[in-house]
Amino acid sequence: MYFPCLLLSKTIHKIMIPIVWKEPPIRFTQQSSRSLRTTTPILTLFQKLHRLFSNATFCNFQPKYAPLTITPSVHTGCHIKHLFLPTTTVHHHPDSILSDLLALCPNLVRISLRGNPSVTDLTLSILATNRPMLRSLDISNCARVTDVGVGALHSSRLSSLALVGVATSDQSLAELFNGVCGTSLRALRLANTLVTGAGVALALVNGCCRIEVLDLTGCVGVDDCVVGKIARTCGDRLRWLSLAHVQVKMVKADGGISDESVRALATWCPNLEVLDLGYVGGVTGVSLKIIAESPMERLVSLVVTGCIGIPIEEFGQLALLRQKFGNLSTITIGDCPGINDYHISTLISPEGWLAGWKKGSGQKEPKLLNKSWDD
């Protein structure tokens, strides 16, 4: 398990050899010492590495050693700013062990705990109160996090927060935007949470909204009214927006996103760079015409996969936007009954509307603007 780590550098090799194989008795002293029991020498290794590097990644450590009792010390001069600790396996007092790991890094700026089963509401409370320099936090798919923990982050100064798949609702979102966090947040990912479209719109309107990146993938209750409020509130600050797979239930039976939502975005959010409308059935060819005639000169990527209301011939209108500004470089289409490889080949043929464009391999999603949603 640890062998690949030994190949990173001579320095790491020198540090890990005695820890992993020889396991010498290592004692850390501290005035208010507190012993921890852990099934791996992770804290021992962390203590030695954090003085040498500005980033640390600990992934999928499997317990293979006898319990080791150590007393960690806090190194106030620690320069680690980025910590990635996803899906770790810790069996003894997970809250305490994770808290002590975080205590070793008082200067943390970015933390990713994605999918970590040890993360609880207590963890988030500690981060909110003891990490004033923290700016980016990813707790996506942390099953033990609830509204209580997310609401505790209201006093932090986060600029980026990812809550994908977390059991959070409108209540905690309102607390976030009513606190200091509401004035500092720039990027917010709420994909597949319990947050509703109305809750998002209300939170943005009531808070001092400075959102630039907003991911509402899979959220319920998102319709034209909600998108219109978001567009007017975020205005020209909004750069990335995902409305893919949004659901209409809990609002009204005949609601949903239509061409009017696209019109509102084109009017109020001219600086959009990435727009994802995947599997939004109410979008038609009119939306493409609105985008083509809009002042959205910074639009780089448009995703309309699964939009069954857009016929293949309507995509030719996007050539106008490309001719005017020259920035549109990626159009993601497909998964529609009336669109197949033949239609796409015809569209990008020398005689087609999008002549000069190339069909992507489809093997992996392109990384736009040297960033991704996870950044």
Compare 117 and 45 and report the one with higher pLDDT.
117
How confident is the model over 208-216, as a mean pLDDT?
89
* 173 pLDDT tier (thresholds 50, 70, 90): very high
Averaged pLDDT for residues 103-115: 83
Decide if pLDDT at 183 tops 50.
Answer: yes
According to the model, what pLDDT value does residue 357 have?
Answer: 72
CB 118 within 8 A of CB 94: yes
CA atoms within 13 A on the CB side of 135: 9
pLDDT in tens, 79-93: 678 878 776 544 444
Q: What is the secondary structure of 23-38 as a DSSP string? A: --------TT---EEE
Mean pLDDT computed over every residue of the chain: 75
Residue 301 to residue 60: CA distance in whole angstroms: 34
Q: What is the mean pLDDT of residues 282-298?
A: 91
Q: Is the pLDDT of residue 139 over 70?
A: yes
**Which one, of 261, 323, 305, 312, lies nearest residue 287 by Cα?**
261
Please say if the pLDDT value at position 105 is more than 80.
no
> Given pLDDT bands bounded at 50, 70 and 90, which one contains residue 71?
very low
Determine which of 66-70, 166-170, 264-268 has the lowest per-residue pLDDT on average. Answer: 66-70
Per-residue b/e over 19-56, b at no fewer than 16 CB within 10 Å? Answer: bbeeeeeeeeeeeeeeebebbbbbbbbbbbbbeeeeeb
- Higher per-residue confidence, 39 vs 204: 204
Q: Which amino acid is at 139?
A: I
Q: Does the structure show a pLDDT above 60 at 246? A: yes
Q: What is the pLDDT of residue 334?
A: 79
Instruction: Give pLDDT, residue 78.
Output: 60
The per-residue pLDDT for 253 is 40
pLDDT tens for residues 146-160?
Answer: 999 999 999 899 999
pLDDT band, residue 299 (cuts 50/70/90): very high
Quote the DSSP letter at residue 178.
H
pLDDT over 90 (residue 270)? yes
User: What was the pLDDT predicted at 238?
Assistant: 95
Interval 40-59 mean pLDDT: 49
Segment 29-49 shows an average pLDDT of: 46
Q: Residue 264: which pLDDT band, with cuts at 50, 70 and 90?
A: very high
| DSSP symbols for 132-146 | TT--EEE-TT-TT--
- Residue 16 has what pLDDT? 56
Q: What percentage of the chain exceeds 70 in pLDDT?
A: 67
Of residues 367 and 71, more confidence is placed in 367
**Residue 77 in this model has a pLDDT that exceeds 60:** no
User: Is the pLDDT assigned to residue 266 strictly greater than 90?
Assistant: yes
Rounded-to-integer distance, Cα 106 and Cα 362, Å = 42
Lowest mean pLDDT among 99-113, 163-177, 235-249: 99-113
Q: Which of 240-244, 297-301, 318-322, 356-360 has the highest mean pLDDT?
A: 240-244
* Between residues 370 and 262, the one the model is more confident about: 262
Query: In this predicted structure, what is the pLDDT of residue 13?
Result: 54
Question: Between residues 340 and 28, which one has the greater pLDDT?
Answer: 340
